[in-house]
Structures are given as structure tokens and as C-alpha cells.
Structure 1
Amino acid sequence: MLPTHGRHGYHSWRGRPQWRWPGGARLAVYLGVNLEHFAFGEGLGAELAPGGPQPDVLNHAWRDYGNRVGAWRLLETLDELALPCTVLLNSAIYAHAPELAAAHRARGDEMAGHGRTNSERQSILPEPEERALIAAATAEMAAREGVAPRGWLSPWIAESHATPDLLAEAGYRYTLNWCSDDQPVWHRTGHGPLMAIPYPQEVNDIPSIVARKDGAAQFAAMIIEDFDERLRQVRDGVAQVMGIALHPYIIGQPYRMRALRRALSHIAVRREDVWITTAGAIFEHACTLPEGSIPGD
């Protein structure tokens, strides 16, 4: 037997129960907007060009462009198309760019935990230190938002063996760390069930644009093709979740925003046929379904 994570078993896509999202939709679509802050001169971070000795001004400034400019351009597009989003928030944003968090709060967007900063990776920490990281980020968000976040995406999608247990212990109800399904999946933890909501690693601007070097038009076409194919699949099939992962320092560049707007407009005009929502609302609805509807029940 190979080692296993033990969080959930295998569930074949074929033969799953038939159920629907609100309004009778079979496809739920959500946008995951990553608001991230990075330490200057140390720690992790995506690179536009191979980084040199620290301080790496080029790559730090490129990433900070997202908070200074790109995120505001993305907000304008979301407002123009009346699209909600789930904000995946480094708690360091509150000190670095408080106006940005306030703008999303004013829209009524969901605020989900995304660690303290993307300059660190929680998976390498001893368990007490990882617990403290989760607690610090959660407390900061609860103080600023008036309510603790229900969802968590680890910086760099990095989990230790204990992460799901620590998240459930801290009061989290869902995680976005697992991309292994197109439906929510219940995970077992030492502190009760934790729902894994699909978060994309394909329709995601970091692996697409930074890693694979896809162009702006190619990424926009990827969103459209993914959406259209899912609509075809769900006509007589099981309900699905489509996530779109966005990072303002990447997608907020003007030429990429132009392409993204075309893709999001293509989705927005079908809002009568799909459920455009947030990850938290997906969690809420999934919890109302009959037992056995969600894999891992």
C-alpha cells in the first residue's frame, strides 16, 4: 500500500448523485482574488525575471504593482460587470494597503484567510509555529472584518501533515488548498469535517502566465474554453465548481486586464444559466444538501 493522506477516499466522477446549485444551476463560478504582500529583501515571491542578490528590487516592485495599481483596475472591472469575488487575503495587507481591503469590504466581497504574507511557507514550520501563524492571521482578520474568516488558502498552497487539523481547530470550515476534484469534498480532521472547495491550478494566472508563459489572450481564451466546456458537461451531468484564480500584479497589467475583461464578460452574460458566487456561498449551499451528496460524507 502506498502512503496516503487519509483525509478522504476515492470517489469516481461517474455515478455521483444529481443535485443543483441555487436557481437550478448546475455550474457554480467564483473568482479567487489574491491580495498578497511580500517582505522586501527576503523570503519567497514569484519572479518576473530570475532574481539576483537581495534586495531584489525588480521582482519586489513588480509584485507590489498589484496592490498599488493592478488590484484597483481589477476592482473597476468587477464593478462594471457586477461580479462578486472571494478575496484571499494576506493579513499583512491591512497594514500595507488598508484602502484595498476596505474597497473589497465595501463591495460585500467574502474575505478568506491566506496567511500573513506570501513571503513565507507554513508547511516547513513546526506544528506550534504553524498554529501560531494561523491564529495570528485569523485574529487580525476577525478584528478588521468583525467576523472570523471561514475559508483558508495557504500561501503557496503549502500544507504540513497537520494543516487540515490546525485549520479545523482554529474554526475554519473550508479549505481551498486541494485541486483534486470539480465538486466540494469533505476531508476528515481531528477536529471534525473540513470541506475542500476546488481551487484551480490550471485556470490560474500564476501557473499559466508565470510558469507556462501563456500570453494574455491565451489565458483569457483558457477561461472561456473552460467555462463553455463545463456548461456543455453539466447539461446532463453532475454539478460542478469552476474557480478562476487571479493575482493583481499579474492580471492587473493593462493589456492583460483588457483580455480578462473579455473573458469575464463572456461569463457575466450567462448569469441566468450559472451561479456566479463566492467560495463561502458554495460552502453554505453544499452544507444544505442531503447526506451523501458531497464526496467524503
Structure 2
Amino acid sequence: MPNPPAPSDPQLYDPIPDPRPIRWPGGKTCAVWVAPNLEFYELDPPPHPRRKSWARPHPDVVGYSHRDHANRVGHWRMADAMSRHGFPGSVSLSVALCDHIPEVVADANARGWEFFSHGIYNTRYAYDMDEAQERAIIEDSIATVQAATGQRIRGWLAPALTHTPRTMDLIAEYGLDYTCDLYHDDRPGRVRTASGDLISMPYSLEVNDHYGFFIYNMSPREYARALIDQFDRLAREGQNSGTVMCIPLHAYLIGQPHRIGPFEEVLRHIAADGRAWITTAGAIADAWRTGGRAGE
């Protein structure tokens, strides 16, 4: 018999069709969660030998100010659209935002959104961190978010999608419940670590607004059409075994005046469809575990 995956190879293969179907509450076929990335970028961050923080020499006023639009204007425009159509946020949070711009964090908390960690700054990377440094980031994330919001974080999305070989083992050791750093499935799955199991929470690069606008050069209406197509397909396939659709957002992109209208049409479409369980990452994790699949 083949050996089970080692902690350094956390993926457990679960094929489609799956003989153990997932069933979401209320008979819904697709769990839809929105992941606003509330981020903090430094104007002049310390250099990293493996990756440049900005395309231009520091201080990069252009890059910084473009992203700063999120915390001055874009967040409220995005959040109000979500609230109008009944979509809570599961916030991928640059934890430094709690100290630098607490008004944004307070607004998200007042809306009843939940928070998970996206590292401290989105201009500092996990590459080459030693264990003590990585532990410090996790501990800072837990303590800072709890002090600012009263919530204990349950999930992790690595800062700027950068990792070390020990990241998943450590977040499991600290009691976190799920990781968003595996983009390999449209359903939750089990991740084996040295400290117990995590849930692989479906996140998305393909329908992430960063990829839509920066990588694929979509127009606002093309991006909206992609989101609707993504939902319609997943809702249909979810009749056999429940699926998950994540909509990852960055308010400096989706919160621009020329983009928010088509995006609001997406929210309207999903909310009116009837097959969507509009929820949070934490609720998806709870439903998946309650369904008895985590130990299988």
C-alpha cells in the first residue's frame, strides 16, 4: 500500500465524483463567501533579497497611493454594496491595519464581518523567515486582531502569498482552523499537519479581482461575467456534492467608481438565484466539520 502523505506534503487527494457528498444548510448547492483583502502597504518597506515590494524605486508614491485608495474610499464603496445585498465579509487582514488605519477595521467589525490573518504587512514576505520570526507573526496576528475586534482568528492567507515549509504546521499548532493557501479544489478538504488537521478553504486566483484586472486585463463587465459564470457552474455541479465559491476582492480595485456597478450586478444575481448559501469562511469550516468529513 502507498504511504500516507507526510506533513511536508499536506494534500489529500479527493476526486470528483466523490462517494461522500457534501450537503450545505437549507439544501443550497454552492457556499459563497466574499474575502475582502483589507491590506496595508508600506511606502518605503525594508528590502527583501528575493522579491521587490514595488516596481519603482522607493518610495513608490504611485504604487502606494493607488492602494491607499482602498482605505480612504474603496472599502466603503465595496462594503456598502456587499451589505445592500446581504453578503458578509471574511476579511483577509493585513494586521498592521489595526494600528495604522483602525477606522477600516472598526467598520468591518461593526458590519459583523469575520477576520483571518493575511500577515502583518503586505510588503513583508515570509520567504527565508526562521521559525521564531514566523511564530512572532502568528502570535502578533492572534493578539492584535483579538484586541481590535474581540475575535480570535481562525484562518490564514500567507502575506503576499509567501510561505515557508513550516507555515501550515505552525498555524495548526496555534489552533487556527483553516488555510486559504491551497487553490486546488472547489470544495473544502483535509490538510494533514504535524499538529493536527487543517481545512483547506477554497480561495481563488482565477476570479480574484487582482488577477482579473492586473493579470487577465479584464474590463469591469468581463470580470462580472466571469463571476456569474463561475457561480452558475458551481451551483449546478453542487447538486451532486456541495461546492464553494470564493470571491477575493481588493477595494482599491473593485471599489473604483467604474467597477463597482458591474460587481453589484453580480451580487444581485447570486443573491436572487436561490442556490447560494451566502456565508463566511468560518461557517463553511463549521458545516464541513459537522458533516463528519474532517476525520474521513
TM-score w.r.t. the length of structure 2 is 0.92
- Show the counterpart of 1:258: 261
- Show the counterpart of 1:220: 224
| Residue pairs, 1:185-196, within 5 angstroms | 185-196=189-200
- Show the counterpart of 2:110: 106
- Show the counterpart of 1:239: 242
| Residue pairs, 1:8-157, within 5 angstroms | 8-42=11-45, 51-157=55-161
Whole-angstrom CA distance in 2 between matches of 1:284 and 1:129: 30
Note if 1:284 corresponds to 2:266: no
Note if 1:229 corresponds to 2:233: yes
Deviations 1:114-164 (A, max 9, x none): 110101112331121111111112211111222310111111222211000
Structure 1 pair 43–211 and aligned structure 2 pair: CA distance change class (3 A): farther
3-state SS of paired residue (1:117): coil
Whole-angstrom CA distance in 2 between matches of 1:215 and 1:132: 40
3-state SS of paired residue (1:10): coil
Amino acid at match of 2:27: G
Amino acid at match of 2:287: H
Whole-angstrom CA distance in 2 between matches of 1:251 and 1:131: 33
Deviations 1:169-196 (A, max 9, x none): 1221111111111111111111111111
Farther off after superposition, 152-161 or 24-33: 152-161
The offset of 1:67, in angstroms, is: 0.8
Contact 1:16 1:238 in 2 (8 A): no
Whole-angstrom CA distance in 1 between matches of 2:210 and 2:19: 32
Contact 1:31 1:85 in 2 (8 A): yes
3-state SS of paired residue (2:196): coil
Amino acid at match of 1:111: F
Deviations 1:28-76 (A, max 9, x none): 00000000001112358xxxxx832211111100011111110010111
Amino acid at match of 1:225: D
- Show the counterpart of 1:167: 171
Whole-angstrom CA distance in 2 between matches of 1:81 and 1:121: 35
Contact 2:12 2:191 in 1 (8 A): no
Deviations 1:232-278 (A, max 9, x none): 2223x2110110100001111111111111111111112x3220000
Whole-angstrom CA distance in 1 between matches of 2:188 and 2:228: 22
Unaligned runs of 5+ in 2: 48-53
Contact 1:7 1:187 in 2 (8 A): yes
Whole-angstrom CA distance in 2 between matches of 1:8 and 1:75: 34
Amino acid at match of 2:135: R
3-state SS of paired residue (1:111): strand
Unaligned runs of 5+ in 1: 45-49
Any runs of at least 4 consecutive aligned residues in structure 1 with deviations exceeding 6 A, and if so which?
Answer: none
| 1:6 alignment partner, one of 6, 9, 14 | 9
- Show the counterpart of 2:50: none
Contact 2:123 2:160 in 1 (8 A): no
The offset of 1:15, in angstroms, is: 3.1
Whole-angstrom CA distance in 2 between matches of 1:152 and 1:187: 13
The offset of 1:284, in angstroms, is: 0.7
- Show the counterpart of 1:47: none
TM-score w.r.t. the length of structure 1 is 0.91
- Show the counterpart of 2:51: none
